[in-house]
Amino acid sequence: MIWCFILFHILSCQEQVLHTSDTHLKFDIVLKEKVVGQLHATKSFKDAKAHYQSSTNITTRFIKDITVNYKYNVIFNTNTLEKADVHITVNNKPHAETKTQWLDNRYLIQKNEDKAVVFNKAINYSTILMYFVEPENVSFCFSEEDGSINTIIPLGNHTYKKINAKGKENIYYYKNGKLIKAEIDGGLISFQMLAK
């Protein structure tokens, strides 16, 4: 009986240690020097896998009031992307959804209701990781949002340019390995992300 109690206590302590190692990040979304939203991102470990989640809420006026919500759920298993789900809503209505799943030694990437596209190379770095890990020695990253490969170019002084499949450029600034600011070209609008 005492051994069961000791084992339970050890497992409970390990569970507490795992939860205390979770990482939580917050960024303000700034448009024309005004805070218009927030990005919350978390990294946690479960079943020896890294689970990343981010939620971005932006409310602004562009001809009319617009509320945009981005939700990312991404899982890496031994530094390799296993699964990614992205849901985007505009004014509380579904706008876009992309699902990426590692299956039978390949990725199946499905955007909205389109037929799944196959990608055969392992993915070791993706957009959500840019919030948590400075992309030192990383040349490419996978975009969970649109299922494409983006280019990463180091600009020096811990600053990086990420170019997406449509040629849009985002700039990421790091200090002591942590993201402190990003300049995002969102197509219709450009904004900044500032670490809180």
In a domain, 6, yes or no: no
**Residue 62 CB contacts under 8 Å (≥ 6 apart), including other chains:** 188, 189
In a domain, 164, yes or no: yes
| Domain of residue 89, residue span | 21-195
Res 13 pLDDT > 90: no
In the chain, the amino acid numbered 109 is I
How many domains does the chain contain in total? Answer: 1
pLDDT in tens, 20-34: 589 999 999 999 999
In a domain, 9, yes or no: no
In a domain, 155, yes or no: yes
Give ∠ CA 69-74-75 in degrees, rounded to 5: 165
Q: How far is CA 99 from the centre of its chain?
A: 13
In a domain, 54, yes or no: yes
Which parts of the chain are beta strand (E)?
23-31, 34-46, 49-62, 64-77, 80-90, 93-102, 107-111, 117-119, 140-143, 148-156, 159-163, 169-175, 178-185, 190-195
Strand partners, 28: 38, 194
Tell me the pTM. Answer: 0.85
pLDDT in tens, 128-168: 999 999 999 999 999 999 999 999 999 999 999 999 999 99
In a domain, 101, yes or no: yes
In a domain, 7, yes or no: no
In a domain, 121, yes or no: yes
